[in-house]
Chain A
């Protein structure tokens, strides 16, 4: 049994814990918050014209909350930008405008509808406007001279995002080239870019959906009411509950039903599905997510079901 003796030695002798040391370890939400604030301050310090993409979704609400904390008691030193697909949930627009008013923020809105009216973009056959956001988004960035663009993307959302850096360099066409990414080490970020290029910055990269909700609860971050269970007229398409509207639903054979639902993500009305839920409070939502067996994008985003590489393709073209 010499081998067993050798094994016992390996097992016993090697791990030397930090004995009686007083080990300080911040809870994970505080670590994530501090990291997010650090990133936001770095950008404010090093870039000329940052902007925060604000969809009214929970991730952008959380980003805004971190930005308010980062500069408090001074105001947030950059504007918000909303890419308006024209297929918005009215509750989300009302929420957006109330926040802007209350916190004295500046808001830039670029509208997909303007591009359709001018003939620069054409409505898609499926009625979805999510892919149509790319051109107005890039124009909004270029026309306002924004050089850093905060996005609420998280790496746990999707496998292409898992490979994206916190500072994501985009060329003048807004394109992401996975092979041109800069290595990120320690807490040092390199935001150097050429004129015409910009950097997308993802301060929530290391958060998971559950982290976001736990933090929303801890901080009492206000969210649009559609995140919580409410009765709504919906119809079923491709296995998802969609809200009827002028965007093109329901069609023949898609009966409207009254359901108790909530949204796990907030996006274009035409491709964001509701989930049946009775979760009326943040605590209910956390309990629901903790036992959920479906990812949030899988459950609620028609656009990500198109192909295995749907997100990768859209990112390469300049998507969020």
Chain B
């Protein structure tokens, strides 16, 4: 088994390399999200026999005739006993075209916190609505959170089409409402698909009951939607994570947050502003000419500089802002509120700094997108604007431009819990201005 792979084997192995798509689901209570996710896993043949047997057994125990697909995604006994869903659960399935990582976010009262968490790593969000109810307040919240978190692709699944007689006009009306709401937020990439998760219509297989729908099924769309980033538009951002030292070796290890770095590139070390050159990019397999996000690599620099964890390497002329004070949008994740005057810690890329909340400028009404400025604190599940002052200079981008150098955690300096998710700038305003002007960032 330690023999060198022969070329035939290598060829089949390379064939198996597939893209990975991270997506999240968002829905309200009772719109059938668990059933939809269960259906997706079941019909894509991602559920194995012993798991199915367990679900069938549990369905019978609960007095159901058929199999309750929602049970496939129930996690903890505490949840089963109370019929609730805690936090975000991650599901995995693979088709011939893609490997999927699904952040399954529950729709109950903590939805904002959970959806922000699930959407932070998602490239696409599936938003569910009940065909009988259409676009509701909750749908607008999900849209706003997706816009806030910079999710580039949305999929509206209009579920329970069986309960509206698979009616085309009902679907079209909901799709039009959704389109208007999405465009108001500057979201351009979305599709609407009529489904019935209970029977599986348009989830994996096309629906015989809706011949008027000619678009892709939900899984087909997930398999084919173009994701990924345009390397040319991304600025290189390399946060130094760890200094690797061995005998006469000194390298700076990290994961490229965005863009591309090449051996020979001139770089600026931030926040100090020193300039040097990348003389080598190292990986275990050997030296690389080029690294692109999200690769983890180790770079060697031409000059002996004082570089350490928390520093950011970028190319000259492409520097982010280096600030002591900045405006940000935060989503409160903890039941400890965030107040003007609070002393906290920020974790931004690989750097942890002390900070003070100088000001809470507004609270966002996530349905109307209005700013309530008569506030000085934010509580659990609230989103608002703050001004933060930091104890050491930070090299930051706007979140709308870079998800990783534009994001941070707000941490309670006293008990260590994560208080809030932070996004540099005002991503919703940025998205809306793009939507209105039709410009790309």
Contact = CB atoms under 8 A, between A and B. Distances in A.
Interface of A: 3-4, 6-7, 10-11, 14-18, 21-35, 37-38, 41-42, 44-45, 68-75, 155-156, 159-160, 162-163, 178-179, 181-188, 190, 192-194, 205-206, 208, 210-211, 214, 217-218, 220, 222-223, 225, 228, 281-283, 292-295, 298-299, 308-309, 312-313
B18 A27 contact: yes
B190 A15 contact: yes
Contacts of B292: 24, 26
Contacts of B5: 217, 220
Given A45-B350, A187-B404, A206 B76 contact: no
B417 interface: yes
A241 B245 CA distance: 48
A75 B296 contact: no
B62 interface: no
A184 B28 CA distance: 22
B contact patch SS: mixed
A194 B416 contact: yes
B75 interface: yes
B354 to A, nearest CB: 13
A183 B113 contact: yes
13 contacts: A14-B189, A26-B292, A69-B283, A155-B92, A178-B86, A179-B86, A186-B121, A194-B416, A205-B90, A220-B2, A281-B1, A298-B51, A309-B76
Interface residues of B, number: 99
Interface stretch (B140-148, B226-234, B311-319, B384-392): B226-234
A184 B241 contact: no
B136 interface: no
A167 to B, nearest CB: 10
B115 to A, nearest CB: 11
Interface of B: 1-2, 4-5, 9, 12-13, 16-20, 48-51, 54, 58, 74-78, 80, 86-92, 94, 99, 101, 113-114, 116-117, 120-121, 168-169, 171-172, 175-176, 179, 188-192, 212-215, 225-233, 241-242, 244-246, 249, 253-255, 260, 282-284, 292-296, 298, 309, 333, 347, 350, 403-404, 407-409, 411, 415-418, 421
A292 B47 CA distance: 11
A25 B17 CA distance: 11
Contacts of B226: 17-18, 23
Given A10-B172, A210-B94, 9 more contacts: A7-B175, A21-B230, A38-B241, A41-B242, A160-B76, A181-B87, A214-B16, A220-B5, A295-B50
Given A3-B169, A15-B225, A21 B18 contact: no
B231 A22 contact: yes
A93 B122 CA distance: 41
Contacts of B213: 7
B404 A186 contact: yes
A159 B74 contact: yes
B421 A15 contact: no
A68 B231 CA distance: 29
Listed residue (A16, A187, A205) with the most chain B CB atoms within 10 angstroms of its CB: A187
B1 A228 contact: yes
A217 B15 CA distance: 13
A7 B168 contact: yes
Nearest to A35: B294
A206 B249 contact: no
Given A27-B18, A74-B245, A282-B1, A188 B407 contact: yes
A184 B5 CA distance: 38
